[in-house]
């Protein structure tokens, strides 16, 4: 990483304003998935070991600049207390007298969690006065919130104008892995893309086709590629504005001559959409009229597995079907198991539903790097800058 990290500065007796991404779901007062909290522990423990006082800043959900009782950070602080084994205090707000008094009272190794920073509309507006108020809570700013690194908000970019700003260990690891696969992947290099928004994936392909050797395409975006090839996908979701982009990518691959593009050969279809009682697996050439493609079929999974077998680096972003509903989650979990078996390859997976497929297939521990940031990882794969990373001190 070309930015300074917490290893590069003296943190003893320093108040550290630590931005994390604890945007987690809470049900009945308990966190549903604490992965993001656990991924932040190495940074917090290193800050405590170095003798820093830690003021944690995070958002949760989209409260639209007002207080939403269901999105308070108290349940997160309680769970973090259990994970750290030390008390995590909570502040009534993320700025103002109470937050400043509590931050000033911290002793080395102690931890304070601020209230949801998005309760203030000034956060997402990157308001300068709000950023200055946040900066009063620390002597140093540490950004470990990779999931928000593509956003120029007050707590990710604005505060860097007022405090020395460095990366946490999670942010460093995320950027290093994704930089490696986008700038200099070990080849053969495979890409697995799914999801529904073609424009996002076309941008990835435009950025990575220069070094890709295998491109496997599933999910709803595959429908657009199939239609671009003249295949009738019946009532399936198609992004008509993306057909030209799909044709461009396929022409680019054909021009290069050594890229293998693998589209679905068989698909799982339903009559009446996801709620329909009729479900079949058919060839892509035989999708019945008024039926809809909602997942890839087992033959397609096998084709993906064969194509990826020779790869030394594989990146996967986006589910292979309507992952939220059974039985249309099977293709995604099957692809997860395929990646889990690529023991000699560096595998990088990003995106919330994609990561969920790994966990449900019980192969997450076999993946080289599981990204905590869907939007940020997508931006890096597209070759876009990350404002919150750019704002940190250069190494």
Q: Would you kindly state where each structural domain of the chain is located, as residue ranges?
A: 6-169, 177-381
- Do 296 and 331 contact (CB within 8 A), yes or no? yes
Q: Which of 61, 96, 299, 375 is catalytic?
A: 375
List residues bridging with 366 in a β-sheet: none
Interhelix angle 198-208/243-256, rounded to 10 degrees, is: 20
Structure tokens at 229: 């090839």
Q: Which of 352, 359, 360, 366 is catalytic?
A: 352
Query: How far apart are alpha carbons 282 and 243 in whole angstroms?
Result: 23
Where does residue 287 rank: exposed (0-12), middle (13-18), buried (19+ CB within 10 A)?
Answer: buried
Residue 375 is among the residues annotated as catalytic for this protein:
yes
Q: Which of 197, 229, 247, 360 is catalytic?
A: 197
Q: What is the pLDDT of residues 138-180, one digit of tens each?
A: 999 999 999 999 999 999 999 999 999 999 999 999 999 999 9
Report which of residues 258 and 128 the model is more confident about: 128
Q: Which of 3, 15, 19, 36 is catalytic?
A: 36
Q: What percent of the chain has pLDDT over 70?
A: 100
Q: What is the pLDDT of residues 341-367, one digit of tens each?
A: 998 999 999 888 898 899 999 999 999
Average pLDDT along the chain: 95
Residue 245 is among the residues annotated as catalytic for this protein:
no
* Assigned superfamily of 6-169: Phosphoglycerate kinase, N-terminal domain (3.40.50.1260)
Average pLDDT on 52-65 reads: 96
pLDDT confidence of residue 273: 75
Structure tokens at 343: 């023991």
- Do 170 and 146 contact (CB within 8 A), yes or no? yes
Structure tokens at 393: 């001190």
Query: How far apart are alpha carbons 69 and 318 in whole angstroms?
Result: 32
Q: Does pLDDT of 274 surpass 80?
A: no
Residue 168 is among the residues annotated as catalytic for this protein:
no
Q: What is the pLDDT of residues 101-117, one digit of tens each?
A: 999 999 999 999 999 99
pLDDT confidence of residue 87: 97
Classify strands 214-217 and 189-193 as parallel, antiparallel or unpaired: parallel
Residue 350 is among the residues annotated as catalytic for this protein:
no
Q: What is the pLDDT of residues 192-245, one digit of tens each?
A: 999 988 888 999 999 998 899 999 999 999 999 999 999 999 999 999 999 999
Third-level CATH fold of 177-381: Rossmann fold (3.40.50)
Q: Do domains 6-169 and 177-381 have the same CATH topology?
A: yes
């Amino acid at each position: 990483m070309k930015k300074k990290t917490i290893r590069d500065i003296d943190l003893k007796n320093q108040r550290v304003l630590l931005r994390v991404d604890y945007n987690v779901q809470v049900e009945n007062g308990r966190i549903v998935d604490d992965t993001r909290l656990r991924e932040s522990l190495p940074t917090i423990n290193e800050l405590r070991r170095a003798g820093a006082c830690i003021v944690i800043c995070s958002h949760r959900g989209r409260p639209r600049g007002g207080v939403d009782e269901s999105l308070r950070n108290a349940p997160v602080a309680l769970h973090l207390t259990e994970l750290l084994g030390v008390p995590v205090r909570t502040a009534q707000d993320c700025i103002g007298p109470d937050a400043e008094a509590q931050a000033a009272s911290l002793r080395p190794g102690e931890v304070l969690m601020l209230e949801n920073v998005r309760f203030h509309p000034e956060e997402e507006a990157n308001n300068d006065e709000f950023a200055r108020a946040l900066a009063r809570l620390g002597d140093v700013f540490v950004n470990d919130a990779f999931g928000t690194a593509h956003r120029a908000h007050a707590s990710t970019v604005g505060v860097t104008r007022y405090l020395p700003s460095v990366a946490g260990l999670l942010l460093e690891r995320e950027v290093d892995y994704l930089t490696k696969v986008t700038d200099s992947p070990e080849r053969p290099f495979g890409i697995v893309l799914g999801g529904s928004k073609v424009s996002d994936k076309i941008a990835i392909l435009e950025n990575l086709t220069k070094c890709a050797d295998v491109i496997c395409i599933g999910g709803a975006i595959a429908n657009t590629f199939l239609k671009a090839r003249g295949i009738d996908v019946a009532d399936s979701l198609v992004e008509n504005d993306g057909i030209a982009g799909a044709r461009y990518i396929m022409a680019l691959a054909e021009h290069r001559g050594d890229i293998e593009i693998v589209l679905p050969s068989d698909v799982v279809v339903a009559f009446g959409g996801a709620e329909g009682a009729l479900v079949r697996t058919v060839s892509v050439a035989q999708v019945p009229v008024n039926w809809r493609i909602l997942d890839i079929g087992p033959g397609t999974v096998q084709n993906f597995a064969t194509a990826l077998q020779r790869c030394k680096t594989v990146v996967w972003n986006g589910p292979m079907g309507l992952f939220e509903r059974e039985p249309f989650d099977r293709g995604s979990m099957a692809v997860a198991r395929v990646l889990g078996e690529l023991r000699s390859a560096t595998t990088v997976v990003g995106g919330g539903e994609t990561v969920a497929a790994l966990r449900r297939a019980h192969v997450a521990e076999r993946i080289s790097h599981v990204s905590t940031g869907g939007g940020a990882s997508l931006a890096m794969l597209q070759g876009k800058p990350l404002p919150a990373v750019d704002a940190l001190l250069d190494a």
